[in-house]
Amino acid sequence: MTLRDATDELREHASRLSGYGMSRRGFVRLVSAGVGSSAVVALLAACGGGSKSTATTAAASTGTSSSGASTATTAATAASTSKAGTPAAQSSAAASTGTSTSSTAVAAVKGGQAHVLWNASPVTLMPIFSTSGSEQQVERLMFGALVKMNDKLVPTPDMASKIEATPDAKSYTFTLHDNVKFSDGTPLTSDDVRFTFQAAIDSRSGSYWNGRLKGIVGAADFSTQKATSVTGIVTPDDKTVTINLTGGDAAFLVNLCNFSGLGIMPKHILKDVAPDQLRKHSFALAPTVTAGAFKFVKYATDQYLELARNDTYWGTPPPLDSIFMQILTSDVALAQLETGKIDLMTLSVQDLDHVKSLPNAQMQSVASPSMDFLAVNMERDYLKDKRIRQAMLYAIDRDGILKQIYAGQGEITNSPIFGPDWMGVPEGLNEYKFDPAKAKQLLKDAGWDGSRTLDMVYTPVTKERTTAMQIIQNQWSDVGLKVNIDQVDTAEGNRRTIQASDFDLRPTGGGVFRADPGVSGTYMVTSTWTPKGGNYGHYSNPDIDKLYPEAQAAGKPEDRKVLYTQIAKILNDELPWIFLYSPNSAYGVAKRLQGFMPPSYVDNKLWNAETWSVTS
Amino acid sequence: MGRYILRRILISIPVMIGITMVTYLIVNLAPGDPISAMLNPETIASQGPDWVAQQKAALGLNDPLPIRYVLWLKQVAQGNLGFSYNDRLPVTGKIRERIWPTTKLMLTVEFIALLVAIPLGVISAVKQYSAIDYIATIFGFTAVSIPSFFLALAAIYLFSVKFGWLPAAGMGTIGSPSSLGDSAKHLVLPAMVLGLSQAAPLIRYTRSSMLETVRQDFMRTARAKGLSEVIVLYRHGLRNALIPLITVVALDLPKLLGGAVIIESVFAWPGMGTLAIEAVRSRDYPVIMAINLLSAVLILVCNLLADVLYAFIDPRIKYS
């Protein structure tokens, strides 16, 4: 059919339509009626079925998971019969499933739901691929880990009832609890542990745990497929796993449970998946077979994740029926905290006073393991003189910033080593108390060129940090240091600092420095200069290169403390980073939520969710 | 008319290709790349020296730009929109999940906007320079000037926290089975906040169009016939005044797809807007391109629809 025939036919159709005696007016009336009614019908129809279409359920659903879902729905239907949207809804649900409560008692109820704020949508829920702490804590709760991070940043046994380490820190033996079962009833054995570790080490899977676990004997060969298994993982029986390391690593457990814990994946579900396909598997966003205290029910994209109590859990059954991780902006979450819809969220400094004034919630604040600092590009000639960097630190009134911007919630840090408890803050460090005169003097001595403008590549994360940077800029200009704050987004910031080394200063915050003094090693040694590692400032000092591995391998905490104190003194003097402070972690907790213990690391809120309960 | 439509459709194809070419160029010119977006020193620290290069090669980012564009175009021609760089999920699935929430919200927004705008516009025009006219004008300016996120937060504070009448965020109450009433309650705040600011320009359009129409001779004739004022205004006046409005609304339809990023993030509405902004932030090229492609298609279709509709409704317009 030619084009001409097509147009002729079209014209014929059109004239036939008008031949039916329908005028233009009539046609318009018909069309608008049709569109209007179909829109209304579609709206009504889909309103009812709307949320069903957004649920993503996996192919690998099991019998136990559907019974778990029905428990959740009976609690939910009880809630919907009462007035929706008020705390009263939760209480009727709790009462229907467990012991009764009087209206004035604060006794915990068995059952009920907890709603926790999640600050970002998950990219994946498979333990070996998560790079964000907020995903990892949920995975730890669902999958269970050998060892988990507790609120004081101490590795505590989770799925392993016993953990033994040899004095030279080269070998760790984990003994699993009796009765550890996946939610589909299959027992979890050392085979699943081996499977998880090997999937992580295998370079084909693309997991970044490959780097974290490269200290295991045989990992290098397995990761490049030169061996068929990792010889350093020994599984003498179903309940025992021994991991042998090539070099003593006293911080291995900390590494393993950073940020919350590495979930153990089910071998029987995933064993036939090719390593490079693991990330794309449906299990990644719908892990229905897990061995932890809570199991996956549903993930509504960008809205919430629903977890329900796992009936096959090896430990004491958790009091809560279900936990919802809700994805909201913090302003809305604050409003929800006030109306009782959210039970737990991380708070920023500006919201602390508001939450303190709420009748149904309280503010809890603890020291955090992270630190704010300015990374310096040590390759730039004009920044190589340490007097310049010392002047930079003397010129900042860190005490003032902490008091004014962070409401005093935090502590000043003078080196990247300030914890944990056995380490403490090393003695003998220069405190760099605010002294602009001294800063000016140091700059003069070093022959600083006052006309030079430094380039600060800054990715805005929190309002407090942005204000702090502006204050620093002002205080530096008072002593003759000109700096330009270049606001960029994460992708560009990373490209400039990590890939292109095109920066003078980079404000950064985060990390888990307080968890173990060895954490800072990644950023300070020459062998981890980018692109090989995380040392994007390209700091290099042979003494530091020697001391860090020595301290890592030393067995006893007392010996390690001595070595780390030496490291801290050197870094405190040379200032490869302008160390600022460690701001506290603050949480808004609804009073109805019992058992929550504020963790040092903000993305580890769920560390003891197995023991949480609600009073209504 | 048929020939006109066909010609327009045929021209659209090279326009589409041009749009995708320009978009691809711009998106790739933006500083940063998908790998940088997901880097942090911890991640690199734990990888081998070639990890960054390996990841780039795996995503095909090392090929020259024109080759990558042609590969992408070939893929799309076969109906495959690719896989997201973020979570390796197919892009079509991601978009399909979010189209309905966005469409539902935006349809309601348009509905509210028209419901508010048309009567107000008519009254403003008929009672020109009266109190109502000024109030409507001021309201219009205010609604357009106040940033939508501020309005949204103020609305949440007022109606959700202070009065407790409406839920603060989300599409439905979590943990309860969905119901019509529940969905509707969650729809009210975001639709009202956005609908009112959308209504403002529509009020002005209706008003000026109506002003023009009531001055026409046929209006005087209708009145002379003895018809009631209401019938004169609505059957004779408004019908004709709405013609340009139809074009405006038809051109607004592509927003059904784009959604409103800010409103969606404030109200935790899982729509296309949040997908788009996340994709841009993480330099997720396949998703960005897919959304742009869809938007381009929709805009071209809506433009054509507006022109055709205009010709259908108004017999004075004829296309060759």
pLDDT score for B99: 86
- The structure tokens listed for B301 are 């279709």
pLDDT score for A25: 58
Mean pLDDT within B20-35 = 85
Residue corresponding to tokens 């600050």 = A119
pLDDT score for A106: 59
CB A152 within 8 A of CB A600: yes
Q: How many CB atoms lie within 10 A of CB A551?
A: 23
Cα A299 to Cα A324: distance, rounded to the nearest angstrom = 10
Amino acid at A320: L
Report H helices in B148-267.
148-155, 180-214, 217-224, 229-231, 239-252, 255-258, 261-266
What Cα–Cα distance (Å) separates residue A465 from each residue in A289, A411, A487, A523? Answer: 41, 15, 12, 21
Instruction: Note whether A341 contacts B33, CB cutoff 8 Å.
Output: no
Q: Hey, is the C-beta of A10 within 8 angstroms of any chain B C-beta?
A: yes
Core vs surface per residue A587-613: b (16+ CB within 10 A) or e? bbbbbbbbbbebbbbbbbbbbbbbbbb
pLDDT score for A174: 93
Cα B124 to Cα B211: distance, rounded to the nearest angstrom = 9
CB A89 within 8 A of CB A82: yes
Residue A44: its chain B contacts at CB < 8 A? Answer: 180
Q: Hey, is the C-beta of B14 within 8 angstroms of any chain A C-beta?
A: no
Instruction: Note whether A301 contacts B83, CB cutoff 8 Å.
Output: no
Dihedral of CA atoms A325, A328, A329, A331 in degrees, nearest 10, equals -90
Q: Chains A, B: CB contacts under 8 A, how many?
A: 230
What Cα–Cα distance (Å) separates residue B211 from each residue in B121, B200, B230? Answer: 10, 17, 16
Residue B1: its chain A contacts at CB < 8 A? Answer: 11, 14
Helix, strand or coil, per DSSP, at residue B268: coil
Dump strand ranges (E) for A367-427. 371-376, 410-412
State which residues of chain A have pLDDT below 50.
Answer: 1, 3, 6-7, 10, 14, 17-22, 45-105
Helix, strand or coil, per DSSP, at residue A416: coil
- The structure tokens listed for A122 are 């998950």
Mean pLDDT within B71-93 = 86
Q: Hey, is the C-beta of A522 within 8 angstroms of any chain B C-beta?
A: yes
pLDDT score for A85: 33
The two beta strands, A113-118 and A322-327, are: parallel
pLDDT, tens digit (0-9, with 9 covering 90-100), for B6-18? 998 999 999 999 9
Instruction: Note whether A48 contacts B183, CB cutoff 8 Å.
Output: yes
Instruction: Note whether A280 contacts B89, CB cutoff 8 Å.
Output: yes
ipTM confidence score: 0.76
CB B182 within 8 A of CB B173: yes
pLDDT, tens digit (0-9, with 9 covering 90-100), for B96-151? 888 888 888 988 998 999 999 998 888 888 888 888 888 888 988 888 888 888 98
pLDDT score for A96: 34
Instruction: Give the closest of B32, B37, B172 to A51, CB-based.
Output: B172
Cα A350 to Cα A297: distance, rounded to the nearest angstrom = 35
Residue B172: its chain A contacts at CB < 8 A? Answer: 50-51
Phi-psi region of A447 (alpha: psi -120 to 50; beta: other; left: phi over 0): left
Residue corresponding to tokens 């209480």 = A91
Chain B segment 65-104 residues within 8 A of A by beta carbon are 83, 86-89, 97-98, 100-101, 104
Report residue A340 CA to chain centroid gap: 25
Phi and psi angles of residue A377, each rounded to the nearest 5 degrees, phi first: -80, 100
Chain B residue with the nearest C-alpha to that of A298: B175
CB B242 within 8 A of CB B209: yes
Q: Concatenated DSSP letters for A347-362?
A: E-GGGHHHHHT-SSEE
Instruction: Note whether B175 contacts A113, CB cutoff 8 Å.
Output: yes
pLDDT score for A51: 36
pLDDT score for A191: 92
Cα B35 to Cα B33: distance, rounded to the nearest angstrom = 5
Residue A327: its chain B contacts at CB < 8 A? Answer: 268
Kindly report the nearest CA distance between residue A332 and chain B, in angstroms. Answer: 7
pTM of the complete model: 0.77
Report residue A80 CA to chain centroid gap: 33
Q: What secondary structure letter does DSSP report for B168? A: S
Percent of chain B residues past pLDDT 90, beyond the cut = 12
- The structure tokens listed for A300 are 């509504």
Residue B108: its chain A contacts at CB < 8 A? Answer: 43
pLDDT score for B42: 59
pLDDT score for A516: 87
Q: In what order do the strands lie in the sheet with A410-412?
A: A410-412, A577-583, A371-376, A505-510, A453-458, A482-487
pLDDT score for A60: 31
pLDDT score for A59: 31
Dihedral of CA atoms A473, A478, A483, A485 in degrees, nearest 10, equals 20
What Cα–Cα distance (Å) separates residue A185 from each residue in A63, A65, A71, A180, A192? Answer: 10, 11, 18, 9, 14
Percent of chain B residues past pLDDT 70, beyond the cut = 93
